[in-house]
Structure 1
Amino acid sequence: MADLRMPTATYICPQDGTRAGAASTAWCCPVCRGPWDLDTGPRAPVALGALAGRVNSLWRYAEALPLDGAAVSLGEGRTPLVPLTGHVSAKLDFLMPTLSFKDRGAVMLAELARRLSPDRVVADSSGNAGTAVAAYCARAGLPCTVYVPEGTSPKKTEQIRAHGARLETVPGGREATAAAARAAADVPGTFYASHVFNPYFLHGTKTYVYEIWEELGGTLPDAIAVPVGNGTLLLGAALATSELLAQGLIDRRPALIAVQAEAVSPLAAAFHAGAEDLPDTAAPVLATLAEGIAIPRPPRARQILAAVRESGGTFLTVTEDQVRAAQRDLAARGFFVETTGVACWAAVGGETGRSVVVPLCGAGLKTGLAP
């Protein structure tokens, strides 16, 4: 019989301290309507020597994950770490089952939803998170609706439909799409598989760093570069480095290098202005090839900025020409990666002073070669 143990962690609002049981389908703090964090209580450390022979997926890091006895999996995780230069290595997360790193968080949301048995699951996405949630809901036998903005890559929408999810195309941009999904999420019996608001997603993306730590024999590079829109990979990386440091499994925290497209870089601007949050007035949103990180007002902005500062890291931005050049350069090296997924290589590929890992987050087949 499938494991149906209810989650034991507690949702907590980072803004006002409001708490809710994680067995609830409340998708946001009822007081401020902001995203949840997760209080997992004390967890045993992941013992490096105990990993040999464990399941070959991200569920191998069971001690670090907030759900016990998982049943949903497509074999996600354990992606290769490949040197690109003498200082920069790439983690090939485009080799995930749905061809993007979003599988790391989607599997956690699908497993959580399976235990809560909702009438429906809804998600919103510019493409990759939607395809991942659709695939894992199919694996879990859950009905799923994915909201996407008009103009989303046809290859991504085809993949969402192929997994059996209902597709809702929303006029306007990413924020209009999120608003439509959140309105649907307020209907009773709905589980909102939000890669932004639900912290279980972050506890999935943190396995990205646990895998690097395992691959490097219990150490981490000097810096970890990640593309940042809503910040789900960066915040997962921050979670992992904090846990590993607190448990004495690393002796220093790597710097987090957050990369944004110059055309849509609200967090980079706030960081370099010394701000703790985004200004009330949003900057104009311009078109960018890095569509997956074109987020004008990420709900976790304050947390993202704090995480980068606490790590001793920084924000970098890349131009459209740099994105084009980086995609072609990686392709010439044998890796065909979508335009969002090449942003970090564009930013730090010439690094010579320290060791850096960059994620190749999504397959080039999802968007094609940039014009």
Structure 2
Amino acid sequence: MLWRCPRCQGPWDLDFHAAPVPLDSLAGRVNSLWRYAEALPLSDPYATLGEGRTPLVPLTDTISAKLDFLMPTLSFKDRGAVQLAELARRLAPRLVVTDSSGNAGTAVAAYCARAGLTCVVYVPQGTSPKKLEQIRAHGAELVVVAGDREATALAARAAADEPGAFYASHVHNPYFLHGTKTYVYELWEDLGGRLPDDIVVPVGNGTLLLGAWLAVSELYGHGLIDAKPRLVTVQAEAVSPLARAFRAGADDLTGSPAAVAPTLAEGIAIPNPARARQILRAVRDTGGTFLTVTEEAIRAAQLDLARRGLFVESTGVACWAAVRETRGPGTAVVPLCGAGAKTGLAGARL
């Protein structure tokens, strides 16, 4: 089944035009991300697990956190995975194939189980044992690839090219992005039809960022917000190809992909993101910027959040690490993307 653009062989985009979501009608709707039906390319879901509608809680006077680790599989990837599983259910493939550093694979495995689909998940060596256990528990076949994240993706794509396979790629398949955009629709609803000055997101392959950009563009285009918030993007200093390109004023990645350095933010350690041009364009379109964080800052941020009652995995604290001591005026929201139970404390690793 087609999973990439036949012309350029890169990720494809969906020709879908969202209708305006009426804010005053949302109170009586289903309490999940499916309440934003006008903005979603699929409707009447079977595979849902009640995903979405995660809490928004203050961390400071100007910064709030959206607790996206409070999802059925304990990460924000459920927003996109339910869209992929629902699409696959309707296409009825022989099997669903995906690749992941952990959270996306777990989410796809869970939603395939819900939809009654056979699932194979490819992961790189070194993936958290707790995530591997979760994937197996959902009944998926697990393939551990001897190599890094890029080698894992290549192995999955080879399997996805086999007849009857559906590639549930959170990078290449745009239905995933239309799932992650509900993150911003929820912010808009919870803030009474407004958005914060800055939406801060971690970026590896850019699935949350690009979903946020879709939502911001739709809300602005429909006249439901007066101005676009800035998209402030965060990468680990150890693996930050997009931040380098942005600072160089480039429209795409510059130079050859560097080797992946060890980092606690393993979920965003992507040296060659397939949607790099779109990511850079999205950030510039909103007047946003890129920030990078050190390993020490990630450790400190994870412990700081834990002391506030929020145990988040190390990748998921990157945004708080970037803004907690340097935040200027204006309001911002950071996502807490994955539960700490998936990986444990950063100080025990790396």
Q: TM above 0.5, one fold?
A: yes
What is the TM-score when the length of structure 1 is the normalising length?
0.92
Aligned position for 1:312: 287
- Matching residue's letter, 1:286: A
CA distance in 1, matches of 2:6, 2:47: 29
Q: What RMSD, in angstroms, separates the aligned Cα atoms of the two structures?
A: 0.7
Are 1:45 and 2:23 an aligned pair?
no
Partner SS for 1:79: coil
TM-score by length of 2: 0.98
Which of 148, 151, 162 is the equivalent residue of 1:176? 151
1:253 aligns with 2:204: no
Matched, 1:108 2:77: no
Contact kept in structure 1, 2:18 and 2:218, CA below 8 Å: no
**312, 327, 334: which one pairs with 1:358?**
334
User: Of the candidates 7, 26, 40, which is equivalent to residue 31 of structure 1?
Assistant: 7
How far has the Cα of 1:188 moved from its partner?
1.1
* Alpha carbons 1:81, 1:91 under 8 Å: kept: yes
Give the counterpart of 1:328 among 283, 293, 303.
303
1:99 corresponds to which of 71, 74, 94: 74
Letter in 2 for 1:268: A
> For residues 243-282 of structure 1, what are the alpha-carbon distances to aligned partners after superposition, in whole Å with 9 as ceiling and x for unaligned?
0000000000000000000000000000000000012411
Does the aligned pair in 2 maintain the 1:109–1:201 contact within 8 Å? yes
Spell out, residue by residue over 1:71-102, the C-alpha distance to the aligned partner (whole angstroms, 9 max, x if none): 21001000000000001000000000000000
The whole-number CA distance in structure 2 between the counterparts of 1:349 and 1:227 is 14
Give the whole-Å Cα distance in 1 for the aligned partners of 2:265 and 2:229: 25
Instruction: Say yes or no: does 1:70 pair with 2:42.
Output: no
Q: Is the 8 A contact 1:221 1:355 kept in 2?
A: yes
Alignment of 1:186-225 (within 5 A): 186-225=161-200
2:344 is the counterpart of 1:368: yes
For 1:120 and 1:145, the matched residues in 2 are separated by 7
Note if contact 1:87-1:352 (Cα within 8 Å) is conserved in structure 2: no
The number of residues matched between the two structures is 346
Deviation at 1:53, TM superposition (A): 1.3
Taking only the aligned residue pairs, the percentage that are identical comes to 75
User: What's 1:286 paired with?
Assistant: 261
For 1:65 and 1:365, the matched residues in 2 are separated by 31
Q: Distance in 2 between matches of 1:175 and 1:360?
A: 25
Residue 78 (structure 2) pairs with residue 87 (structure 1): no
Q: Which residue of 2 aligns with 1:7?
A: none
Structure 1 counterpart of 2:240? 265
Structure 2 gap segments, 5+ residues each: none
Q: Deviation at 1:32?
A: 1.6
Runs of 4+ in 1 over 4 A off after TM superposition: none
Distance 2:92 2:201 in 1: 34
